[in-house]
Chain A
Amino acid sequence: MSSQLIFEAIGTHWVIDLYGEYTAEQVDLVYHKILERIAIFDKTYSRFRDDSVVSEMARTAGDYVLPDDAKELFAVYKKMYDVTHGLVTPLIGQVLVDAGYDAKYSLIQKKPLTKPLGWDEVFSYTAPQIHMRVPALLDFGAAGKGYCVDVVSQVIEGYGIHAYCVDAGGDMRHRHVAGPALTVGLEHPEDTTQVIGTVTLSNASLCGSAGNRRVWQNFHHVISPETLTSPQDILAVWVVADSTIVADALTTGLFFVSPDILRHHFTFEYVIIKSDYSCEKSDGFPGELFLEKR
């Protein structure tokens, strides 16, 4: 027996499975709490809405009090920022907008791109407060969705439900200690009717990022703050880790930095598909790739 919640939020399609027997009232209660929680998250961190805290910080310098969940978000971002020497940075926001990845999805480059400032130049965060030295548009696209999955999972666990899968558009977290693992297909980067491998997901999180999705002009959703171009040598990346925020952040990190370097600092398994369809995966990756020798 299980219940399923399906809805659209933060620009993606959610499918939440609750494994176990719950009454319609219980499921409804959890569902509404989840929607409420996502709404708060979105209102704080979305750069796609004008009334968010992040949008306000882009307009006015000064001090802002952020919710408790900012602690983990900033901790993961800061670690990624340091490990990647600033290549994964929330300060990429204005670059993405200028390149056309804005609230209106105009997808037309507006002006020449300029390198973002450094973390310390722009803000300092000491929970619960962030001090913006200058107005700047922060973008949490690299780990925000994954984190939202974790945050929703906390809501679910808050109701004593510990067997579930939260799937936000292919980024997912599975918890089911005694239950069966999920077999998740890894979608072919250029053909949605095909998969190029599978992951056996059990009590872990899986996130994917494909460079040739969300493509416009010469850009895709990952832009290097150094070169101000989108990496072209990687087609797709999948990461399995304990938490969804880390898995999500690492999918972006792997576009810039070798897995070896990242593995000094994070525990994870990965698959990287290069632009010629050659591939690289970690020894412990819990899945298989469909391979051929050419």
Chain B
Amino acid sequence: MDPIQPIKKSNTSLIAGIVGVVVIAGAVIFAVKNNQSNSQPVAVAPVDTTNTAPVTTPASSTTPADVAPTSKYKDGTYSADGYYSSPGGNDAVHVTLVLKNDIVTDATVTSGAGDGTSARYQAMFIGGYKAYVVGQDISTLNLTKVSGSSLTPRGFNDAVSKIKTQATA
């Protein structure tokens, strides 16, 4: 197995670093996969360090005496493209990470995956640090109350069903 090429350092080392982690992790997945099948080398291309400026929601006009952030990285949304070769051909991933207090709080990877296997591994990787909520049956839990559903006013539901009836008439 060829060693993974180091990620090129640049002035946007944060993004490079993060995307590097993404790409390396992706490469590791492929490396494992390759061990099991044909042992085609995995190459990791230098990360495209195009910095898209941190995207934030409308900035607050007044910032009262707030605790000075002690985080190492600036909070924000960062995007970059990564490229790698897989047995299925050359693939690209467009990675967007949301950083808050030095923690990746959200991530999306636009899969440029050329083949289904890559897409699947990319999906696995994305899921690695993103947790999803799942439902549990109310009846299995000892709850005093429930918040959510009853928000729906009755009249509204009636109106919706009426419209549905009209729409299918």
Contact = CB atoms under 8 A, between A and B. Distances in A.
Q: Do A and B bind each other?
A: yes
Contacts of B105: 280
A279 B130 CA distance: 8
Contact of B135 (A84, A191, A208): A191
A83 to B, nearest CB: 6
Interface stretch (B4-12, B15-23, B82-90, B154-162): B154-162
Interface residues of B, number: 47
A289 interface: yes
B114 interface: no
Contact of A293 (B56, B62, B131, B141): B131
B153 A12 contact: yes
Interface stretch (A130-138, A155-163, A209-217): A209-217
Nearest to A263: B66
Interface string B125-169: 001101111111111011111111111111110111001000000
A213 B152 contact: yes
A85 B149 CA distance: 30
Given A169-B151, A184-B143, A195 B58 contact: no
Contacts of B127: 293-294
Given A216-B163, A273-B133, A276-B132, A261 B60 contact: yes
A193 interface: yes
Contact of A107 (B59, B66, B159): B159
Given A107-B159, A107-B160, A188 B135 contact: yes
B48 interface: no
A11 B149 contact: no
Main secondary structure, interface of A, reads strand
Contact of B151 (A170, A182, A185, A194): A170
A38 interface: no
A170 B144 contact: no
Nearest to B58: A85
Interface string B7-51: 000000000000000000000000000000000000000000000
Given A107-B159, A294-B132, A184 B146 contact: yes
Given A11-B153, A169-B150, A196 B135 contact: yes
A160 B158 CA distance: 39
A87 interface: yes
B70 interface: no
Given A184-B147, A185-B145, A214-B152, A106 B159 contact: yes
B55 to A, nearest CB: 10
Contacts of A11: 153-156
Interface string B104-131: 0110000000000000000100011011
A255 B59 CA distance: 15
B100 A84 contact: no
B151 A213 contact: yes
Given A107-B159, A185-B138, A188-B135, A195 B146 contact: yes
Interface in B55-114: 56-64, 66, 75, 100, 105-106
Interface of B: 56-64, 66, 75, 100, 105-106, 123, 127-128, 130-139, 141-156, 158-160, 163
Interface of A: 8, 11-13, 15, 82-85, 87, 104-108, 165, 167, 169-172, 182-189, 191-199, 206-210, 213-216, 236, 238, 256-258, 260-261, 264-265, 273, 276-280, 289-294
Given A186-B146, A207-B147, A261-B57, 7 more contacts: A11-B154, A170-B151, A194-B137, A196-B135, A213-B152, A215-B160, A278-B131
11 contacts: A12-B151, A105-B156, A107-B163, A169-B150, A187-B149, A236-B148, A257-B58, A261-B57, A290-B133, A291-B133, A293-B128
The 10 closest A-B pairs by CB, nearest first: A187-B148, A194-B135, A105-B159, A170-B147, A11-B153, A188-B135, A169-B150, A294-B127, A196-B133, A185-B146
